[in-house]
Amino acid sequence: MLATIMYSSEGEVYNLSSNAECMHGEELSQSKEHEKINDLRERGYMEHGCQHYRKRCRIRAPCCNEIFHCRHCHNEAKYDIRIVPKLRHDIPRHQVKHVICSLCGIEQEVQQNCINCGVCMGKYFCGICKLFDDDVSKKQYHCGGCGICRTGGSENYFHCDKCGCCHSTLLKNSHACVEKAMHHDCPVCFEYLFESMHEIAVLPCGHTIHINCLNEMRQHLQYACPLCSKSVFDMSKVWEKFDLEIAATPMPELYQNKMVWILCNDCGRTSNVKYHLIAQKCLNCKSYNTRQT
């Protein structure tokens, strides 16, 4: 192949093809170097970690100076019933300063890539929460309002300042605001909801609960919020069955004209209604989720 020649105004000759080949060679060299670095960083991907996170490092707890896979492993160990109550404690996650690489064992300051072997200790890395995780399918993101990392993708959630937590975008214009909605324990299992790794449901009343706990309530025929007693499901079909059952169960003559005051747990209204042994129906919203006052 003929070389392309270009003469400059000073009479110097440049072989463009040779220069192009030299530049291409440098690009290939740089590309190989990048591939080598990437290969080093990818070593051990999804092969290390614990039941909570797949990652290539462990943390040194600043509170007790012990080494754990993650903060959840620490809290499970240090809040065990066998631990003396005064020694039980949670790890201050934002104060973690040192991690230990799972591949080379070198302890170092918190950072995404190991300073010794170059491996990436977590595909997802948050320097604020000191969080590492190789399983990015969780779609982790850091919420500045919550001050911690969440899962599910930032595009699918919004932060409500009054509730003090993130909600699904599907609830953006319809959720009932409850101040500090998730800053309390689950009303069923008593795990602190704000930092829970389990899925959380927002009830129509605005209170929050683990989805698994809500399903258990349904299995045990419990249909009211444990905190405010409002119905958490569509109960219209159930109320229709109550109507039929009450109609088929007349009260003894002594109680046929007995009147009682009731408070509806669903709408909050009071009503003066006929007493029935099975249940009393709210005159306002037609709910049977009521109680005598």
Whether residue 24 is predicted with pLDDT greater than 90 in this model: the reply is no
Residues 13 and 65 in one domain: no
Tell me, yes or no, whether 147 lies in a domain: no
Q: Which of 35-44, 111-120, 272-281 has the lowest mean pLDDT?
A: 35-44
- Residue 115's pLDDT band, with cuts at 50, 70 and 90, is very high
Q: Name the most confidently modeled range: 56-70, 79-93, 185-199.
A: 56-70
Residues 188 and 227 in one domain: yes
- Taking the CA atoms of 233, 238, 240 and 243 in sequence, report the sign of the dihedral they define: negative
pLDDT of residue 3: 40
pLDDT of residue 39: 83
Tell me, yes or no, whether 276 lies in a domain: yes
Residue 287: which domain range? 245-292
pLDDT of residue 269: 95
pLDDT of residue 249: 93
Q: Residue range 189-208: average pLDDT? A: 89
- Residue 291's pLDDT band, with cuts at 50, 70 and 90, is very high
Whether residue 40 is predicted with pLDDT greater than 90 in this model: the reply is no
CATH number at residue 253: 2.20.28.10
Q: Residue range 221-250: average pLDDT? A: 94
Q: Which two tokens stand for residue 251?
A: 């009260």
pLDDT tens-place string over residues 85-103 = 888 999 998 999 999 999 9
Tell me, yes or no, whether 240 lies in a domain: no
Tell me, yes or no, whether 146 lies in a domain: no
Mean pLDDT of the chain: 88
Residues 249 and 223 in one domain: no
